[in-house]
Amino acid sequence: MTQMNLADGIASMTVLVMGEGQERQPLAVVNGLDLSFCEESNAAELRIPLKEDLYYPILKSLSKDCQTTLAK
């Protein structure tokens, strides 16, 4: 997979910093990230070609297995 999901990465980082047990903090402030936000996104920009999709071979094989099972 060549595309990074920055929002998930930042969220995971803040959970690590805030903690999940007795040490937890109610808020994390993230500074120094070189990000730019936009008002709209284009769905075509978010699509990953099947040849680059990490999960496609797995899902494709599962799909064949499911079709075989359903045919029985």
pLDDT tens sequence across 9-67: 888 888 888 887 777 778 888 888 887 777 887 788 778 888 888 888 888 887 665 65
State how far the Cα of 50 lies from the Cα of 58, in Å rounded to an integer: 12
pLDDT of residue 1: 38
pLDDT of residue 36: 76
Residue at token pair 């008002």: 39
Whole-model pTM above 0.75?
no
